[in-house]
Amino acid sequence: EPEVTQTPSHQVTQMGQEVILRCVPISNHLYFYWYRQILGQKVEFLVSFYNNEISEKSEIFDDQFSVERPDGSNFTLKIRSTKLEDSAMYFCASMRSGGEKLFFGSGTQLSVL
C-alpha cells in the first residue's frame, strides 16, 4: 500500500540552526501538508501546499518556516533558525484531491537543544 515517507525519523539540532525535514508524499497525490505535535498536545495544522504554492497557513507558520516541492516527488519543511519551542514531532501528509482522505507519514521527531 502506498505511504507517505518522512526522513529523518529523528533530528537533533542546536538552537539557531537551520533544519530541513523531508517528505515523499504518495505519488498520485496533489495536496501536501505539514502538521506538528508537541509532546502531550494536539496535532496542529501548519501549512497546506497545492499547485506549487501555499494554500493556507496557521499562525504558527511564521517567517522562520518555509516549504518547497523541489522536484516531482519531494516536499520539504525548512525552519531557518530553530527555537527550543520548535521541538515537536512533525508530520507530513498528502491527499489525492480536495475533500478526500488525508494520509500521514510516521513523522520526524525534532529536538532543539
Partner 1 sequence: QKEVEQDPGPLSVPEGAIVSLNCTYSNSAFQYFMWYRQYSRKGPELLMYTYSSGNKEDGRFTAQVDKSSKYISLFIRDSQPSDSATYLCAMIGEDSGNTGKLIFGQGTTLQVKP
Place of cell 516549504: 67
Region 4-43 residues binding partner 1, contact defined as CB under 8 A: 4, 6, 31, 33, 35, 42-43
- The C-alpha atoms of residue 105 and residue 90 are separated, in whole angstroms, by 9
Burial group, residue 30, by CB count within 10 angstroms (0-12, 13-18, 19+): middle
77, 1, 64: which is closest to 33 by C-alpha? 77
Region 43-102 residues binding partner 1, contact defined as CB under 8 A: 43-45, 48, 50, 55-56, 58, 89, 91, 93, 95, 98-99, 101-102
Does residue 1 interact with partner 1 by CB under 8 A? Answer: no
**Residues of the shown chain interacting with partner 1 in the complex, contacts defined by CB under 8 A:** 4, 6, 31, 33, 35, 42-45, 48, 50, 55-56, 58, 89, 91, 93, 95, 98-99, 101-107, 109
